[in-house]
């Protein structure tokens, strides 16, 4: 499975592609950060992010996209920009019919480090170890994007099977034969 992890942000949007499967070593395909200037209007910054996400989807043809779920912080302007960038990522993936998963920061930290309270340095160190890299990806947005992709590979498959089983059970219980 090849997953594009996206750590959304209006100024820095982390992008990371990881390939692998549960129980096997994972491989880094690519990682980078899309940057936009705070001097530009928000609409133009969002177009830049859209073009960047589309380019990554074209180049790496992921099987799924994992995006960090936006959560409320004290700074509303930061949340708004993050939510807008997240929406762009979701639309780009949905336009192509790709499965999209949203993972919370706590879930990602727990998946890669064993603790939902891990700090950025600990997440970066674990991403480095899991992907057998020489150094942690910089900036932290890059490491976070890779952590999202890793989380989805490790947890996304199981979650998809659970949702499919629940959907099948729901259809069975509503069948006219009963």
Identify whether the C-beta of residue 3 lies closer than 8 Å to the C-beta of residue 152: yes
Catalytic residue among 50, 68, 134, 177: 68
Sign of CA dihedral 6, 2, 101, 143: negative
Q: Is 7 annotated as a binding residue?
A: yes
Q: Is 75 annotated as a binding residue?
A: no
**Is 134 a catalytic site residue?**
no
Catalytic residue among 7, 75, 107, 163: 7
What does the alpha-carbon distance between residue 90 and residue 71 come to, in Å, rounded to a whole number? 16
**Is 50 a catalytic site residue?**
no
Q: Is 39 annotated as a binding residue?
A: no
Catalytic residue among 19, 30, 141, 163: 141
**Is 68 a catalytic site residue?**
yes
Give the active site residues. 7, 68, 141
Binding site as annotated, residues: 7, 68, 141
Binding site as annotated, residues for Mg(2+): 7, 68, 141
């Amino acid at each position: 499975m090849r997953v594009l992890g996206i750590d959304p942000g209006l100024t820095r949007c982390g992008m990371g592609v990881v390939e692998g499967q549960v129980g096997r070593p994972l491989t880094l395909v690519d990682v980078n950060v899309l940057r936009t200037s705070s001097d530009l209007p928000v609409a133009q910054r969002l177009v830049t992010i859209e073009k960047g996400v589309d380019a990554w989807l074209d180049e790496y043809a992921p099987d799924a996209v994992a995006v960090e779920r936006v959560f409320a912080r004290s700074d509303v302007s930061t949340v708004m920009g993050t939510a807008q960038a997240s929406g762009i990522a979701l639309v780009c993936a949905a336009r192509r019919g790709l499965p999209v998963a949203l993972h919370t920061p706590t879930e990602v930290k727990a998946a890669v480090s064993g603790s939902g309270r891990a700090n950025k340095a600990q997440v970066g160190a674990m991403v480095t170890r899991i992907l057998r890299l020489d150094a942690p990806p910089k900036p932290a947005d890059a490491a976070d994007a890779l952590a999202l992709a890793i989380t989805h590979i490790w947890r996304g498959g199981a979650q998809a099977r659970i949702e499919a089983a629940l959907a099948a059970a729901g259809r069975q219980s509503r069948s006219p034969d009963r």
